[in-house]
């Protein structure tokens, strides 16, 4: 293809960009593999150097594509900000993604090393296997590769673009709010684009318009000053594991509702039009649960599986540890019992009030000679997008042009706290488009990203950029 002969006509340009993407998909994959091999586990300080490496990798990678890219150090893992700001006035987008990944344990359940990615053939098509393929390295690379193709074909990009990558998304983003507050000018644009969500199904793209918020707490109950022999002390000595199980068991009633006083303040029924759209999606809750060997919805009675996931708040135990848990028996009466717990929030639920309600719940159940200590994960409220912005319909059409089925507006059960911060600090709305699938096993062993998600994801962003920049 001779680029100099390309017509400036928008429709022709996008065709050439898509063709370029198809022709260079192997190189795109090679670049993605380079990023996937970096063990950027943000929650474990042992991998601090790997997070630095991932940030530098992005800067190096972007420097050749027209972006002015820089690593910004923080008290935690670094931020990467890259700017393409042409002289002419164009719409300005802030694209957000994260280069950090979840821990990989239990390692024994992976069928290949998590940081040695590979293409695998599966019954559901070809996939890219490895930690971070879907969450979020594969996703953020769809946008970078779309920009790269656009730049290769036209010598420019269709919009002002600021890329913003963080490395602490999987560990509570402690540096995010201070950084955004300090760099308001650098980061503010017309609209944020975020690629950290999924498709409705393998053929149906989705724009996520509702997201749950989150409050996380690590609670440690300490009883006796040391581990005791459960025979010698069992009976008179208070067992902190017994205290903890009481605290945790009391968090739900037998209807699946969370018992904390005031927990449901700010939780409203979803608007009828949204509920109608969700009902029309033909979601099979039974089949969704059957995929992971479950059959009975465990959330609040009287709500569909989709509502339990997208529109209802939850309380989940993410981890518990106490006493001896190795092979065989050890008749210990443990000194400590620890749990990690998270609440997913919807509507107007206030993260601070819910954290306080949980701590009150603990205090009420704490025997006088036990103590409770906390390690908090920052709270974030739920976010609900305003669909009045015409960009939502334009993007929906662009996605519909790329995929077999028309794009849909959906909710999301997971939390993407940055969306709340973009709203509160930068006063911007976000548009959430992602290409993950339900079976990607993010946060689990054998995480994967469909090869089609990656390839058509790049093409999708090229189309969305074209549509929003017209």
Q: Under rule CB under 8 A, which residues in 15-44 are in contact with its own copies? A: 42-44
What part of residues 367-396 is at the interface with its own copies (CB under 8 A)?
A: 367-369, 377
- Contacts with its own copies, 203-222, as mask; x by CB under 8 A: ---------x-x-x-x----
Looking at beta carbons only, is 258 or 464 nearer to its own copies? Answer: 258
Q: Which helix (H) or strand (E) holds 378?
A: strand 371-380
Count of other CB atoms within 10 angstroms of residue 446: 16
DSSP-assigned letter for residue 154: H
Q: What is the largest CA-CA distance in the chain?
A: 88
Which structure tokens are listed for 317? Answer: 């135990």
Q: How many CA atoms lie within 13 A of 222 on its CB side?
A: 6
With H, G, I as helix, E, B as strand and everything else as coil, classify residue 370: coil
Looking at beta carbons only, is 75 or 368 nearer to its own copies? Answer: 368
Least separation in angstroms between residue 368's CB and its own copies is 6
Residues in the interface with its own copies (CB under 8 A) total 97
What part of residues 293-322 is at the interface with its own copies (CB under 8 A)?
A: 293-300, 305, 308-309, 312, 314, 316-322
- Measure CA of the first residue to CA of the last residue in the chain; give whole Å: 24
What part of residues 110-169 is at the interface with its own copies (CB under 8 A)?
A: none
With H, G, I as helix, E, B as strand and everything else as coil, classify residue 69: strand
Least separation in angstroms between residue 292's CB and its own copies is 4
Which structure tokens are listed for 358? Answer: 């949980």
Looking at beta carbons only, is 86 or 234 nearer to its own copies? Answer: 234
Least separation in angstroms between residue 200's CB and its own copies is 13
What part of residues 66-105 is at the interface with its own copies (CB under 8 A)?
A: 102-103, 105
**Which residues, at least 6 apart from 448, have a Cβ–Cβ distance to it below 8 Å?**
120, 122, 127, 128, 129, 130, 133, 134, 439, 440, 441
Q: How far is CA 347 from the centre of its chain?
A: 19
What part of residues 176-205 is at the interface with its own copies (CB under 8 A)?
A: none
Q: What is the dihedral of CA 241, 380, 437, 310, to 10 degrees?
A: 90
Looking at beta carbons only, is 10 or 294 nearer to its own copies? Answer: 294
What part of residues 226-265 is at the interface with its own copies (CB under 8 A)?
A: 226-239, 241-242, 244-246, 248-252
Least separation in angstroms between residue 4's CB and its own copies is 47
Looking at beta carbons only, is 40 or 162 nearer to its own copies? Answer: 40
Least separation in angstroms between residue 312's CB and its own copies is 6
**Distance in angstroms (rounded) separating the CA atoms of residues 102 and 122:** 23
* Residue-wise DSSP of 186-235: HH--SEEEE---B-SBTTB-EEEEEE-EEEEEEEEEE-SSS-EETTTSBT
Looking at beta carbons only, is 212 or 455 nearer to its own copies? Answer: 212
Does residue number 437 form part of the binding site for its own copies (CB under 8 A)? no
Looking at beta carbons only, is 342 or 452 nearer to its own copies? Answer: 342
Looking at beta carbons only, is 155 or 326 nearer to its own copies? Answer: 326
Cα distances from 170 to residues 255, 307, 397, 439, 457, in angstroms, run 31, 25, 32, 19, 22
Binds its own copies (CB under 8 A): choice among 66, 138, 334, 347: 334
Looking at beta carbons only, is 65 or 102 nearer to its own copies? Answer: 102
Binds its own copies (CB under 8 A): choice among 123, 185, 327, 388: 327
Q: Are 139 and 435 in contact (CB under 8 A)?
A: yes
Least separation in angstroms between residue 161's CB and its own copies is 28
Binds its own copies (CB under 8 A): choice among 132, 138, 167, 172: 172
Least separation in angstroms between residue 207's CB and its own copies is 17
Least separation in angstroms between residue 110's CB and its own copies is 12
**Distance in angstroms (rounded) separating the CA atoms of residues 40 and 49:** 8
Binds its own copies (CB under 8 A): choice among 331, 348, 363, 404: 331
Stretch that binds its own copies, among 85-93, 152-160, 386-394, 412-420 (CB under 8 A): 412-420
Which structure tokens are listed for 243? Answer: 């205290």
């Amino acid at each position: 293809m001779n680029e100099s002969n390309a017509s400036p006509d928008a429709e022709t340009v996008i065709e050439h960009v898509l063709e370029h993407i198809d022709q260079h998909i192997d190189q795109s994959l090679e670049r993605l593999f380079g990023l996937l091999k970096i063990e950027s586990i943000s929650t474990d300080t042992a991998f601090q150097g790997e997070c630095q490496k991932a940030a530098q990798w992005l800067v190096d990678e972007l420097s050749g594509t027209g972006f002015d890219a820089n690593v910004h150090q923080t008290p935690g893992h670094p931020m990467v900000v890259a700017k393409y700001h042409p002289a002419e006035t164009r719409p300005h987008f802030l694209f957000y993604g994260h280069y950090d990944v979840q821990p990989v344990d239990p390692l024994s359940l992976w069928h290949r090393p998590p940081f040695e990615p590979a293409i695998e053939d599966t019954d559901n098509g070809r996939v890219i296997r490895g930690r971070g393929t879907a969450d979020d390295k594969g996703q953020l690379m769809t946008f970078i590769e779309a920009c790269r193709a656009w730049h290769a074909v036209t010598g420019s990009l269709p919009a002002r673009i600021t890329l913003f990558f963080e490395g602490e998304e999987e560990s509570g983003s402690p540096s995010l709010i201070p950084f955004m507050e300090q760099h308001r000018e650098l980061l503010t644009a017309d609209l944020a684009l975020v690629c950290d969500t999924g498709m409705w199904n393998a053929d149906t793209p989705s724009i996520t318009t509702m997201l749950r918020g989150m409050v996380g707490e690590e609670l440690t109950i300490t009883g006796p000053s040391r581990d005791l022999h459960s025979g010698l002390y069992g009976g008179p000595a208070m067992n902190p594991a017994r205290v903890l199980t009481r605290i945790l068991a009391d968090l739900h009633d037998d209807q699946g509702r969370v018992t904390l006083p005031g927990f449901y303040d700010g939780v409203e029924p979803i608007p009828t039009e949204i509920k109608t759209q969700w009902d029309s999606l033909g979601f099979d809750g039974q089949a969704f649960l059957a995929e992971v060997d479950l059959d009975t919805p465990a959330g609040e009675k009287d709500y569909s599986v989709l509502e339990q996931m997208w529109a209802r708040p939850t309380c989940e135990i993410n981890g518990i540890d106490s006493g001896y848990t190795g092979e065989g028996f050890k008749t210990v009466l443990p000194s400590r019992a620890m749990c990690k717990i998270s609440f997913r929030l919807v509507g107007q639920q206030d993260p601070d009030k819910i954290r306080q309600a949980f701590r009150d719940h603990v205090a009420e159940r704490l025997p006088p000679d036990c103590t409770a200590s906390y390690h908090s994960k920052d709270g974030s409220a739920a976010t609900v997008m305003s669909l009045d912005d015409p960009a939502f319909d334009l993007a929906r059409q662009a996605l519909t042009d790329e995929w077999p089925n028309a794009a849909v507006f959906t909710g999301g059960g997971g939390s993407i706290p940055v969306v709340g911060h973009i709203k509160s600090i930068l006063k911007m709305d976000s548009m959430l488009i992602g290409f993950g699938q339900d079976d990607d096993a993010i946060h689990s062993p054998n995480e994967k990203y469909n090869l089609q998600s990656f390839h058509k994801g790049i093409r999708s962003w090229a189309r969305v950029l074209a549509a929003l920049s017209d």
